Structure 1
């Protein structure tokens, strides 16, 4: 498909670095929304080709305009359900990015790859840049898979991943926030629908166990990708002193979140180290510029967040939710 007009230029952040594709206007009067309406199919092709597109200097100055733009490319924007991180609604279907303390690093992950359903697309909009740090690094999930030992991959294919969560107010998200309801009956219905087991504790808190696949196949390209959060949910992701204190106080079975192989066996430390190293090898990091919009194919590209200082505001939309890993 040919572009109907060409008021843009395509570039790379670094020579030979095809992720992300950078789109910038060639004139001051460029209207990103109108241009996107005319070139939606072309953008879809480019997203499949590169995995991520960075719209830079495109004259988007407020959150409402960002939401309108993303709804043009992804009409089915979705609410944030089966939550694992704290977020706040900003405007319509726009949320804050994960509200973790600024000194913490958020590991690479595909959005909601632990869950029953996840978005095919996710968009980020930089409203306010941090003084230092605060990047949203990205990594190609196909390349992560290629760098993992085939025997390790096959073990996860055969055994799958067991996600164990204990929803405790004050230590992590309470179940009411995760499932966006105060009804235990609604939570139980959701668990039945999504194949999770659940247990209500005497203090009213909740434990769930979900067994999910470690891989996914892209619905269009049929490419296999590493698509899970085994390393992120695992207790070893916590700082040593925090992990030791929580295990001492709660016991491993009561940790707010942890992962195992699907049969309940421990995931070995060297396996988790290999997964983290694979992400590190292919991670791309670049500084935000105010007004940047980053569009990612959530199957193909994982993302994270670096620590930062000063105020930072990056907002998010996500959509085209599916529950089909196509395996």
Structure 2
């Protein structure tokens, strides 16, 4: 087998004057086992600098090929624990992207930033781009942190955030699915290990509360990043009619999900409006090509999903667990 030189890959910005994401063009027909060492070398050198890479031209053959590629970066692939959205397992360590209806927009977020444990790396493999829409926009979490109004940034940093989840009742994912068990004791043990307060309500359903970071420092680069999902969990994320209808059915403490400051005080709707405005201003969108693999540093780069029409298949893998306990 001939040796492939590192400069066999072309590394350039996907869009002019925009270093996120960087496009890594793989020579046509290069076997994955030869491409992988070079891809890993480029990621080791450049991922933390740019935050995101798109590998284009890889000869992956479906989900198993993608799994082998993602696992080849040196960390075991992670399971989707304590998930907040519906996903299905495709193969070991590989999942569908969030299974929300095609017409819905999924706002920018860092994967599992609503917990104290998250993957440092995430890969998206576009097996079938949608004929219309369906992009996976991204954004620089370092730039978002810098641009966030200082008063909001300082409040989130100092107080942290309390995420409240009420499972089941047909309003959110059942706790059995989220924790992968029917056993109350197993759920309680998981919560103890992860600093999650849990209580079983009179109707047998589960409520959890967890105090997490509003901002974070990247362990390798030492950069500060905006790192939370307050804008997704807060009741203001619901359409006004949906919010009104829900609050007619349940008390605020029983909403499927909500977020407060870490001391339990409410976050005003206006604060989240300002947060969303900064996020929207940093959105970077681009069309998928079939076979693309996007690799993100999950702390440095947030991701989203645009609405789409027609068939679309994007699958996901995560690795390199990082926790704060």
TM-score under structure 2 length normalisation: 0.95
Q: 2:17: which partner in 1?
A: 16
> d(CA) in 1 for partners of 2:39 and 2:9?
12
Q: 1:88: which partner in 2?
A: 88
Pairwise CA distance, 1:268: 1.3
> d(CA) in 1 for partners of 2:74 and 2:105?
29
SS of the residue corresponding to residue 99 of structure 1 reads coil
Structure 1 residue ranges without an equivalent (≥5): none
The question of whether the paired residues in 1 share the 8 Å contact of 2:116 and 2:213 is answered with no
> d(CA) in 2 for partners of 1:310 and 1:241?
28
Pairwise CA distance, 1:251: 1.8
SS of the residue corresponding to residue 45 of structure 1 reads helix
The superposition leaves residues 240-286 of structure 1 with CA deviations (integer Å, 9 ceiling, x where unpaired) of 11111111111211110001111221111221011111111111001
Q: 1:6: which partner in 2?
A: 7
> d(CA) in 1 for partners of 2:320 and 2:227?
17
> d(CA) in 2 for partners of 1:298 and 1:285?
17
> d(CA) in 1 for partners of 2:179 and 2:153?
31
- Cα–Cα, structure 1 residues 75 and 244, in superposed 2: closer, same or farther, change >3 Å? same
SS of the residue corresponding to residue 73 of structure 1 reads coil
Q: 1:142: which partner in 2?
A: 142
Moved over 4 A (4+): none
Structure 2 residue ranges without an equivalent (≥5): none
Pairwise CA distance, 1:160: 0.9
RMSD between aligned residues:
1.4
The superposition leaves residues 90-123 of structure 1 with CA deviations (integer Å, 9 ceiling, x where unpaired) of 0111100000111111111000011131000000
Q: 1:182: which partner in 2?
A: 182
> d(CA) in 2 for partners of 1:52 and 1:274?
25
Alignment of 1:132-211 (within 5 A): 132-211=132-211
The question of whether the paired residues in 1 share the 8 Å contact of 2:136 and 2:303 is answered with yes
Alignment of 1:23-172 (within 5 A): 23-26=24-27, 28-38=28-38, 40-172=40-172
Mean Cα deviation higher: 32-41 or 152-161: 32-41
- Cα–Cα, structure 1 residues 65 and 144, in superposed 2: closer, same or farther, change >3 Å? same
Pairwise CA distance, 1:146: 0.8
> d(CA) in 2 for partners of 1:56 and 1:81?
30
SS of the residue corresponding to residue 48 of structure 1 reads helix
Q: 2:319: which partner in 1?
A: 319
> d(CA) in 1 for partners of 2:33 and 2:243?
46
Pairwise CA distance, 1:65: 0.7
> d(CA) in 2 for partners of 1:164 and 1:97?
23
The question of whether the paired residues in 2 share the 8 Å contact of 1:7 and 1:30 is answered with no
Pairwise CA distance, 1:38: 4.6
> d(CA) in 2 for partners of 1:260 and 1:324?
19
Q: 1:228: which partner in 2?
A: 228
- Cα–Cα, structure 1 residues 124 and 289, in superposed 2: closer, same or farther, change >3 Å? same
TM-score under structure 1 length normalisation: 0.95
SS of the residue corresponding to residue 290 of structure 2 reads coil
Q: 1:270: which partner in 2?
A: 270
> d(CA) in 1 for partners of 2:159 and 2:253?
20
> d(CA) in 2 for partners of 1:259 and 1:88?
26
SS of the residue corresponding to residue 19 of structure 2 reads coil
The question of whether the paired residues in 2 share the 8 Å contact of 1:33 and 1:72 is answered with no
The question of whether the paired residues in 1 share the 8 Å contact of 2:123 and 2:316 is answered with yes
Pairwise CA distance, 1:213: 1.2
Aligned residues: 322
The question of whether the paired residues in 2 share the 8 Å contact of 1:140 and 1:282 is answered with yes
